[in-house]
Amino acid sequence: MAIDKIKEMPIKNRLIQILYIHGYIGEKNSQTANAIANALPKNYCFFEPSYFPINPDEALEMAKNIIQTEEIDIVITASLGAFTALQLRGIPKILINPYLYPSKELPKRIDVPERILLRFAELEKQTFENISDEDKLQTFGVFSTGDELFSYKEEFSKHYSNIQTMEDTHRISVENVEKAIVPIVQDITNTIINN
């Protein structure tokens, strides 16, 4: 379902609102989030909640509430945050080293309640269903060639064509934020302004 985003002012005359959803055990003021916020011009407003729940339903509800309340224009995510973003429809999103199958990967790293793993598994089956052409155009995957945790580039490319790779690890460098992420944000912004 598309998210209703009622804007009071034309986008040319206001700040561009960005929501950053961190990965598992990520926290506010992460290196990636700070690098993105610092690299963007002053006409961007950056929202980075200090905590996103591991429960996928709670995380999705929180993201939707922030998107509506803060009139978010672009969602940027890392790792597990990308799983939440893939459940959103109707908003541009940039997914950095997206975590596509938490039900399989999370148990390798932490103890997760079975009910949460089952819910992740249910959502994983739906993640790539009913993707509109608009969502395909508005979803960008950025993958590190040296990701030491996982890589879902091949799976992602079956559903989305906006893919970029960079030489880096799972936690990307400030330099790659500036080279890879910021230009995508600016391209999305130009598209929003010109539509």
Q: Mind spelling out the 3-state secondary structure of the chain?
A: CECCCCCCCCHHHCCEEEEEECCCCCCCCCHHHHHHHHHCCCCEEEECCCCCCCCHHHHHHHHHHHHHHCCCCEEEEECHHHHHHHCCECCCEEEECCCCCHHHHHHHHCCCCHHHHHHHHHHHHHCCCCCCHHHHHHEEEEEECCCCCCCCHHHHHCCCCCEEEECCCCCCCHHHHHHHHHHHHHHHHHHHHHC
* Gap between the terminal Cα atoms of the chain: 21
As a whole number of angstroms, the distance between CA 124 and CA 117 comes to 10
Nearest residue to 160 (alpha-carbon basis) of 186, 181, 174, 141: 141
> Is the domain 11-194 a CATH 3.40.50.1820 member?
yes
Distances (CA, A) of 56 to 103, 118, 120, 167: 11, 10, 7, 30
Beta carbons within 10 angstroms of residue 114's beta carbon: 8
Output the pLDDT for position 69: 95
Output the pLDDT for position 13: 65
Query: pTM value?
Result: 0.90
Residues 6+ apart with CB under 8 A from 134: 90
Output the pLDDT for position 24: 67
Output the pLDDT for position 26: 54
Q: Mean pLDDT per 10-residue run, the chain (195 residues)?
A: 40 82 70 90 89 92 96 95 95 96 89 93 94 96 95 96 96 94 94 83
Residues 6+ apart with CB under 8 A from 61: none
Residue at 15: amino acid letter:
L
- The domain limits of the chain are 11-194
Number of Cα atoms under 13 Å in the Cβ half of residue 153: 15
Output the pLDDT for position 1: 34
Output the pLDDT for position 112: 87
